[in-house]
């Protein structure tokens, strides 16, 4: 029997050793015993981090939806697969059984096919957190189409860039979305985006808010009538193990977003196996991850990982503050949630509110609490532990990335003793390395360095859509034969890892990855702006907030500064989305630059963080005089 479900620490160490000594034998056993295949593989693993190339289970054939849905029907047909909890608590939740999910996914898959979508085609999904979102991912997977979900908080500009980058033929959206007390005109955003996307032939529109929207003849269709008329069964397309399952965009430190490509078999196995262990999922548990499916957390741990285990997964449409700050806890009580997975930024926001919001609900169903997306600070960790977990539910601080597909470093609850702010031990099969500035691996404990992974794991992204060179340059060129994460980390005396944060120009704001370059590009397009630089600074709730230093053109000098600030933020909202707005904008006459013309962000970060006692070495600056000016006028 393979070690699919780890239950104590000794077993973790034993299984970990096995997974590292002979990864192929280890993953082969997991694949054999816990998944259904149309054809077995020819080779478990083929890899070369130089090219780079990674293939898991090459030659195998399968369909992920047969693993996530069909195979559960004989034993779990009437079990709830998805609980949909609407934005407004007075609207009834929906319970979708595995049998119903099968029918819904098949109908949607047939609608896609009727509209010309074939294996390998890209479909953009721009939907709010309604059941159609999960169903459309699975419908794409059913017929071998590659889904590209764009978080429905991104602007029309960001949407069109993503649609065009991967040549999507179709967009799935809704008439609008609810977000707390607000509604958002999603279809309007899609219409604007599509002005720049000639490749999109069809837009299928789910009805959610019953708003009056424009439908473009020949292109736009209401989804529901099509679903009602579609066949309720759809034969699954047989896919190769390494066929792409989806593209998901993530910010880079430079230029346009990177379309990370995840493939079928390895992704399925790793998300399923991590889900089972890191949430200690047991039959009849009710698992809830509060993320949006627009992010990797939602793909892996709302949809694929839970469903591959035949779990019940909650999809929440709303926000933690509506109708009040007790909303999360009301949902936990209502559905008797057993595993709850959220982001530190949400915990910090809730911790600021009255404790009564938590205390008025019965949270005794909870067994495991999760955290993801950014380092969880000690205060937030204790608040979560004391008030939500009542010191009984272990917290799993899960470190991973869009690129890794699944959780990489994390405690296993009831197995790994936890320490606040530590993601603790590498998960089974994961071989981390800390690197020094000279490219050498730092051995031993009580050390810190740059976090790399030495050996492929099944759900590593295989490439960047359309740009394999960028994939190599970004992840495999900094350190030879290693995947570089972009994060710094320390390893303590017992070998626990603590992630210290990004070491590149990505800033994590409220758990969202933001690259500085696209934001700077957006600011620089303002007619009054000559140049700009963005850095992060600590923020009570968001973790980091954005601080912009902006040089005006001569023609902009006479403009009112507050109006300019508003215009700059408006422009960022249009180009990227409201999540990238700047908290502070300081107008400066110059930016500190090295002789080679590089902005010295380290200094700007220190000024933004009010940590100017020691600015470090400034001897290579071309224009040291500007530093004093910036410090004197800092916000």
Which residues contribute to the site for ligand PRX (CB under 6 A)? 250, 296-297, 372-375, 397-402, 423, 485-487, 499, 502, 508, 513
Q: Determine contact, residues 288/340, Cβ cutoff 8 Å.
A: yes
Q: Select 423 or 519, whichever has its Cβ closest to ligand PRX.
A: 423
DSSP letter string over 276-325? HHHTT--TT-EEEE-S-TTSHHHIIIIIIHHHHTT-EEEEE-S-TTSS-T
Give me the least distance between CB of 35 and ligand PRX, in Å please.
23
Give me the least distance between CB of 541 and ligand PRX, in Å please.
16
442: its two tokens:
């730092």
Rg of the chain (C-alpha set): 24
Q: What count of Cα atoms within 13 Å lies in the side-chain half-sphere of residue 235?
A: 3
Give me the least distance between CB of 448 and ligand PRX, in Å please.
14
Give me the least distance between CB of 329 and ligand PRX, in Å please.
22
Q: Select 167 or 492, whichever has its Cβ closest to ligand PRX.
A: 492
Q: Select 26 or 279, whichever has its Cβ closest to ligand PRX.
A: 279
Q: Select 273 or 400, whichever has its Cβ closest to ligand PRX.
A: 400
Give me the least distance between CB of 597 and ligand PRX, in Å please.
28
Q: Select 26 or 479, whichever has its Cβ closest to ligand PRX.
A: 479
Give me the least distance between CB of 531 and ligand PRX, in Å please.
27
Phi-psi map region of 486: left, alpha, beta (phi>0 left; psi -120 to 50 alpha)? left
Give me the least distance between CB of 163 and ligand PRX, in Å please.
20
Give me the least distance between CB of 232 and ligand PRX, in Å please.
35
Round to whole Å and give the CA distance between 191 and 177. 15
Q: Determine contact, residues 111/230, Cβ cutoff 8 Å.
A: yes
Give me the least distance between CB of 489 and ligand PRX, in Å please.
9
Q: Select 82 or 423, whichever has its Cβ closest to ligand PRX.
A: 423
What are the φ/ψ torsions at residue 357 (nearest 5 degrees)?
A: -60, -30
Q: Select 97 or 410, whichever has its Cβ closest to ligand PRX.
A: 410
Round to whole Å and give the CA distance between 378 and 158. 35
Round to whole Å and give the CA distance between 471 and 458. 17
Give me the least distance between CB of 611 and ligand PRX, in Å please.
20
Q: Select 188 or 501, whichever has its Cβ closest to ligand PRX.
A: 501
Q: Select 220 or 504, whichever has its Cβ closest to ligand PRX.
A: 504
Round to whole Å and give the CA distance between 128 and 206. 10
Give me the least distance between CB of 500 and ligand PRX, in Å please.
8
107: its two tokens:
């109908």
DSSP bridge pairs for 205:
173, 222
CB under 8 Å to 145, separation ≥6 — which residues?
112, 117, 118, 119, 120, 121, 122, 123
Round to whole Å and give the CA distance between 569 and 559. 16
What are the φ/ψ torsions at residue 143 (nearest 5 degrees)?
A: -105, 10
Q: Select 66 or 505, whichever has its Cβ closest to ligand PRX.
A: 505
388 DSSP 8-state letter = I
The three state secondary structure string of 118-176 is CCCCEEEECCCCCHHHHHHHHHHHHHCCEEEECCCCCCHHHHHHHHHHCCCCEEEEECC
551: its two tokens:
């040089």
CB under 8 Å to 562, separation ≥6 — which residues?
none
Q: Select 163 or 499, whichever has its Cβ closest to ligand PRX.
A: 499
Give me the least distance between CB of 378 and ligand PRX, in Å please.
13
Give the residue at shortest CB distance from ligand PRX: 402
Q: Select 173 or 485, whichever has its Cβ closest to ligand PRX.
A: 485
- CB burial of 565-583 (b: ≥16 within 10 Å; e: otherwise) equals bebbbebbbebbbebbbbb
Q: How far is CA 56 from the centre of its chain?
A: 22
């Amino acid at each position: 029997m393979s070690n699919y479900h780890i239950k104590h620490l000794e077993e973790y160490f034993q299984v970990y050793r096995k997974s590292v000594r002979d990864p192929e034998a280890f993953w082969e056993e997991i694949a054999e015993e816990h998944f259904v295949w149309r054809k077995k593989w020819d080779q478990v693993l083929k890899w070369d981090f130089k090219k780079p190339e990674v293939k898991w289970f090459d030659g195998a054939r399968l369909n992920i939806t047969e693993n996530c849905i069909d195979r559960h029907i004989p034993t779990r047909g009437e079990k709830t697969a998805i609980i949909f909890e609407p934005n407004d608590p007075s609207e009834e939740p929906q319970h979708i059984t595995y049998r119903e999910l099968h029918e819904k996914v098949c109908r949607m898959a047939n609608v896609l096919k009727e509209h010309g979508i074939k294996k390998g085609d890209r479909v953009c999904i721009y939907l709010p957190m309604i059941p159609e979102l999960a169903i459309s991912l699975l419908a794409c997977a059913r017929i071998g189409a590659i889904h590209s979900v764009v978080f429905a908080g991104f602007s029309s500009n960001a949407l069109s860039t993503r649609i065009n980058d991967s040549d999507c033929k179709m967009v799935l959206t809704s008439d609008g979305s609810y977000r707390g007390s607000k509604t958002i005109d999603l279809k309007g955003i899609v219409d604007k985006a599509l002005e720049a996307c000639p490749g999109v032939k069809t837009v299928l529109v789910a009805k959610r808010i019953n708003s009056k929207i424009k439908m473009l003849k020949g292109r736009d269709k209401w989804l529901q009538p099509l679903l009602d008329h579609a066949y309720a069964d759809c034969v699954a397309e047989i896919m190769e193990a390494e066929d792409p399952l989806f593209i998901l965009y993530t910010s880079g430190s430079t230029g346009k977003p990177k379309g990370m490509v995840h493939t079928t078999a390895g992704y399925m196995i790793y998300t399923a196996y991590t889900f089972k262990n890191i949430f200690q999922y047991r039959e009849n548990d009710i698992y809830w991850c509060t993320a949006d499916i627009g992010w990797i957390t939602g793909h892996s741990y709302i949809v694929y990982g839970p469903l591959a285990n035949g779990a019940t997964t909650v999809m929440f449409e709303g926000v933690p503050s509506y109708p009040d700050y007790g909303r999360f806890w009301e949902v936990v009580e209502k559905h008797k949630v057993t595993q709850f997975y959220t982001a530190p930024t949400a915990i910090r926001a809730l911790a600021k509110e009255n404790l009564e919001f938590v205390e008025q609900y019965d949270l005794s169903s909870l067994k495991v609490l999760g955290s993801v997306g950014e380092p969880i600070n000690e205060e937030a960790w204790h608040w979560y532990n004391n008030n939500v977990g009542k010191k009984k539910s272990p917290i799993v601080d899960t470190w991973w990335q869009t690129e890794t597909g699944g959780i990489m470093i994390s405690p296993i609850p009831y197995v790994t003793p936890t320490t606040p702010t530590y993601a603790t031990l590498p998960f089974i099969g994961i071989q981390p390395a800390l690197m020094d500035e000279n490219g050498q691996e730092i051995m031993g404990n009580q050390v810190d360095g740059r976090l790399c992974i030495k050996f492929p794991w099944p759900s590593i992204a295989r490439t960047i859509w359309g740009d394999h060179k960028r994939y190599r340059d970004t992840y495999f060129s900094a350190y030879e034969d290693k995947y570089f994460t972009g994060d710094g980390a320390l390893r303590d005396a017992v070998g626990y890892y603590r992630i210290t944060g990004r070491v590149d120009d990505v800033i994590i704001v409220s758990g969202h990855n933001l690259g500085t370059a696209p934001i700077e590009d957006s600011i620089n397009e303002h007619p009054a702006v000559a140049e700009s630089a963005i850095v992060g600074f600590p923020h009570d709730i968001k973790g980091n907030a954005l601080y912009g230093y902006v040089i005006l053109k001569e023609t902009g000098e006479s403009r009112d500064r507050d109006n300019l600030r508003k215009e700059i933020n408006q422009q960022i909202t249009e180009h990227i989305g409201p999540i990238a707005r700047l908290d502070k904008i300081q107008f400066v006459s110059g930016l500190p630059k090295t002789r080679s013309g590089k902005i010295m962000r380290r200094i700007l970060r220190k000024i933004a963080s009010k940590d100017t006692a020691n600015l470090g070495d400034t001897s290579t600056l071309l224009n040291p005089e500007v530093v004093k000016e910036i410090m004197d006028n800092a916000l």
